Amino acid sequence: MSNRAIAGELVISVRTVDTHVENILRKLGVATRTQVAVRMATGRDEHHPAGGGVAPERRSGGPTGAMQPNGP
């Protein structure tokens, strides 16, 4: 989906979408959306061959996105 299409769907400016996409790519340490897609599809990337991504204890705890404590 293009930044223009995202902006139209969310009723925000294209520049706002550009900024958010740039920030996401920077935080993930990738240069393209394709690299994000590969990471998400495989659960791994060249920087984290064992799986990478977010540690299990830091993943979302459910539909509300609330973080769950580690352990019982």
Q: Express each pLDDT in 40-63 by its tens digit.
A: 898 865 655 554 555 444 445 545
Distance CA(17)–CA(5), nearest Å, equals 10
Distance CA(49)–CA(22), nearest Å, equals 24
Would the pLDDT of 72 be above 90?
A: no
pTM: 0.56
Whole-number pLDDT of residue 43: 84
Would the pLDDT of 18 be above 90?
A: yes
Q: Residues 6 or more apart from 48 whose CB is under 8 A from it?
A: none
